[in-house]
Amino acid sequence: MKLLVQAQIDTLLQGALFLEAQPEVEPGTLTGLVSLRKALGSPGLNTLAEVNLDSFVGTGSEPVFEIVESMRAALDTLASLTANGGLPLDQALISAARDSVVDAHDSLAAKARFQLSGSLRGIYVIVDPEATRGRPVTDVAFQSLEGGAKVVQLRDKLNDKGPMLETARELKAICAEHDALFVMNDHADLARASNAVILHVGQTDLPISEARRILRPDQLIGNSNGSMDELQRSQEDAVDYVAVGAIYTTTTMGKSGRRALGPEMIRRAREAVTQPIVAIGGINSSNIVDVAKAGADSVCVVSAITFADDPRGATEELVELFESAKG
C-alpha cells in the first residue's frame, strides 16, 4: 500500500511541476493542483529538470498528454484510498486538483491544435476509390504529394473498416514522408486508430463533441459547411477548420444536387470565422485563382487531380496557380 501511494504521489508531483512550467497554462488554472502539491510536499523534487519525462511516455501520444492521463489516474487512485480511509487527504482538495488537471489539459490541447491548424494550407486532395479511375488511392495520393499537395483525405464509402484502416495507415505514412497532413473522413474510430492528423465530418455525421471524446486531444476536426448558419454552428463547436462549398457546380462524389455558392461565400466566411477555410466543390485550374484571391487558406480538389491522366502534373499546375495568387 505504501509503495502504491508513493507512486501516485510521485506522479502528481512531477506532473504538477511540469504543468506549472507550461506557458500555455494560466497560473490561476492550476490553483487546485498547486494546493494538493503543497499538501503532499515534494521532498527532493524542486525543479523541472528533476522531472523524469521518460516515466510518462506510453503508446506514442505526445508526452504532455501522457502526463495528464497519468495524473488523472493517480488522482483517481488517491481519491479511492481517501474515501476508504486509507489516506488522510481532503476529498475537496483532490477534486480541485482534478479540475486543475482537466483545465490544463484543455488549454494545452487547444494550443496544440491551433498551432497544427496553421499548417493547413495549399492543395488538399480527397482520394476516394470511386473517384480514381480504378487506380489505388495510395498511388494517386503519392503522385499528388509528389506534385506538392499539402493535405490528403481518405473518403471511402465502399470498403469495410478493416481494409479501410489498412489504407488509412498507408496514407498516413505516405503523408508523413512528404510532410503533409492526413485526414480521415467520417470515422472517428479510424482516425484515432490510424493516427490521422485530422478527422473530417459532415453536418449530419458524428457531433463534434462526441468526436472529441474518441480522438486524441491533439487531433484536429474539420467539417463541411454550405451556409452561414452552418458556419456559425461550426464556430460555436470550435472545429479546427471549416470546409466551405460547393463553390462551383460539381458532380463528383454525389454532389450534383448542391447549389454553387461562388467565391463570394469564401469572402463572407472569412469575415465570420477565425478558423482556416478550405474551399471545395468544382475547383480546377480555370477557377482556382479566384478561389485563392477570395481568401481560402486551402483548396480541396478531387476530379481535377484524381481523374487526371497525370495526377502529379495536375497537382503541380494547381499548386503554382494557387501559390501565385496568394502571393
Mean pLDDT of 263-282: 96
Whether the pLDDT of residue 67 is over 90: the answer is no
Whether the pLDDT of residue 259 is over 60: the answer is yes
Q: Which of 28-42, 48-62, 86-100, 128-142 has the lowest mean pLDDT?
A: 48-62
- Whole-number pLDDT of residue 47: 40
Mean pLDDT of 105-131: 93
Which amino acid is it at 112? Answer: A
Mean pLDDT of 207-227: 95
**Does 215 or 83 have the greater pLDDT score?**
215
Question: In Å, what is the CA distance from 120 to each residue of 12, 81, 213?
Answer: 36, 46, 23
- Whole-number pLDDT of residue 57: 39
- Whole-number pLDDT of residue 88: 75
- Mean pLDDT of the residues in the chain: 89
- Whole-number pLDDT of residue 81: 83
Question: In Å, what is the CA distance from 28 to each residue of 20, 23, 24, 270?
Answer: 10, 12, 12, 33
pTM beyond 0.85: the answer is no
- Whole-number pLDDT of residue 257: 60
pLDDT tens, position by position, 283-292: 999 999 999 9
Whether the pLDDT of residue 50 is over 50: the answer is no
Query: Could you tell me the pLDDT band of residue 89, with boundaries at 50, 70 and 90?
Result: confident
Whether the pLDDT of residue 58 is over 50: the answer is no
Classify residue 177 by burial, with Cβ atoms within 10 Å: 0-12, 13-18, 19+.
exposed
Q: How far is CA 162 from the centre of its chain?
A: 22
Shortest CA distance to 117 belongs to which of 179, 197, 200?
Answer: 197
Torsion over CA of 188, 189, 194 and 197, rounded to 10 degrees?
20
Query: Could you tell me the pLDDT band of residue 111, with boundaries at 50, 70 and 90?
Result: confident
- Whole-number pLDDT of residue 261: 96
Whether the pLDDT of residue 46 is over 80: the answer is no
Question: In Å, what is the CA distance from 268 to each residue of 191, 236, 274?
Answer: 30, 17, 12
How many Å apart are CA 56 and CA 71, to the nearest integer? 10
Q: What are phi and psi of 186, to 5 degrees?
A: 75, -50
Tell me the β-bridge partners of 224.
243
How many Å apart are CA 193 and CA 293, to the nearest integer? 37
Write down the number of H helices and E strands in the chain: 13, 8
Query: Could you tell me the pLDDT band of residue 142, with boundaries at 50, 70 and 90?
Result: very high
Mean pLDDT of 41-60: 43
- Whole-number pLDDT of residue 292: 98
Whether the pLDDT of residue 236 is over 60: the answer is yes
